Structures are given as C-alpha cells and as structure tokens.
Structure 1
Amino acid sequence: MKKFIILAMLILSINISAKSNSKTGNSIKENTKNITKTQSGNGSSFETAIKVKTVDEEYKYLSVNYPGSTVLGQALVYDDKGTPYDILTVQMPDGKTAKFYFDVTEVFKMYEEMFGL
C-alpha cells in the first residue's frame, strides 16, 4: 500500500511537471543549476543515474541539456538493492532514442515525510 501511494503521488507530480514545463520559459535554465550540483553521473545507467529531488527536475534536465527532445515513456523500476529509479525513454531531435536513469530516492523520502508513510 505504501508503494502504491508513493507511485500515485509520483504520477501526479509527473503530470503537473509536464504542464508547468510548457509555461516556464527561460527560468528552466536557472532551476537546473541545482540538478547539476546533485548529479552523480550522466544518466546512462543505474550506476550513473542522475540524482533528483523532484520529478520536475528530470524534465528540466532534459529540456536544458537535450533541447528539442521528446519523452516517449517513463518507467519506475527498482534495482536489486531496492533503490527506486525513473527511466525516461527519450527521442532525440535526430530521431534516435536514448534512456536516461534518474535516482528518485529523495523524491520517495519527501513523499514519505509528507504523508507519514
């Protein structure tokens, strides 16, 4: 039940992020400065996942670093240690696809604190 509630909150925040990103303009670049400070890798694998504090940071990271890209899908997965990751499948402007791994541990901690889970 705990994971279900966290997943529901994650989905809700994704929808809010997608809507807010279409209206934010240049402020996105300013907000991504915090992401690169917490970033532990390039996001190409579990080992190099980008650590984020909100789901919104995932989309901001992509819009700043890969302008013109489109998110095709998103999956919440856990590694063998139980660490939660969002994996975003992205179509690049040249038509190729890539996967980006985001460590969402801090997102889950925030929801647990907010809802006493």
Structure 2
Amino acid sequence: MRKILILLAITLTMASCSTTNKLSNNAPSPENTTISSGRDGSSFEKAIVITEKSESKGVGAEYEWLRKNYPGYKSQGQSLTYDQKKPYDIIDIITSDGEAKSIYFDISNFFGKF
C-alpha cells in the first residue's frame, strides 16, 4: 500500500505541471471560490468537484486549483479516501500564511480512468 501511495504522489506531482483544470458547473470557478459559495474544499460536503475524465488531467486540475486559490502553499501530503462510496483526494497544505488546511476534492469523474 505504501508503494502505491508513493507512486501516486509522484504521478500527481508530474501531472500537475502541465494540465489545466475544469470544475463542474455546480462548483464555482477557482477565482470565485469562497467559503460562502459552498464549495471551498473544507469538507466532503464542500469538496471541489473535478470534471476532468482522465487521471492525469484530473490530478493536474487539483493542483492547479490549489495554486490559484492558495498561492505559495506547500503540500504536506495527500490521501485517497471514500465517503458514501465516492472517491475523494484530501490534500494537506500549509498556506503562505502558515495555516494548515486539508482540501477535499471529489475525484469521482476521473478516478481509475486513464
């Protein structure tokens, strides 16, 4: 399991360098995402919905969203989990202000699709 997580982390890092993000119509654009919008990534219920259809583009979209919404952040780790049989990535970051955050991404549109 540890080897899979390491491989996933490497793949995520590589893929994030050259892809763009797409968010679902019911999720606000990255520039307009605020806590009041309902999709700030702070929980499963408020997870950022990624609409990409392949893993490489989907992972890149996650990191693009983070770059746009938390410039200067530092990644602290990532985990794959399920809530109500739906896959989510949770990316732990430290913001440029030093605040620790866990950002939830709904990856059901691309998870397991290459």
TM-score for both structures, normalised by structure 2: 0.69
Shift of 1:56: 0.7
Report the RMSD for the aligned CA atoms in angstroms.
2.6
- For 2:90, the equivalent position in structure 1 comes to 87
When Rg is computed on C-alpha atoms for both structures, the one with the higher figure is 1
Q: Structure 1: which amino acid aligns with 2:23?
A: I
Q: Structure 2: which amino acid aligns with 1:45?
A: S
- Using the alignment, how far apart are the partners of 2:108 and 2:43 within structure 1? 15
- For 2:27, the equivalent position in structure 1 comes to 39
Work out the number of aligned pairs and report it: 94
Which of 71, 75, 79 lines up with 2:75 in the alignment? 71
- Using the alignment, how far apart are the partners of 2:70 and 2:105 within structure 1? 15
2:15 is the alignment partner of 1:17 = yes
Q: Which runs of 5+ in 2 are unaligned?
A: 29-38, 53-57
TM-score for both structures, normalised by structure 1: 0.67
Q: Which structure's relative contact order is higher, taking Cα pairs within 8 Å and 6+ residues apart?
A: 2
Q: Which runs of 5+ in 1 are unaligned?
A: 22-27
Deviating above 4 A after TM superposition, structure 1's stretches of 4 or more consecutive aligned residues are none
CA contact (8 A) 1:13 1:56 kept: no
The structure that is helix-richer by fraction is: 1
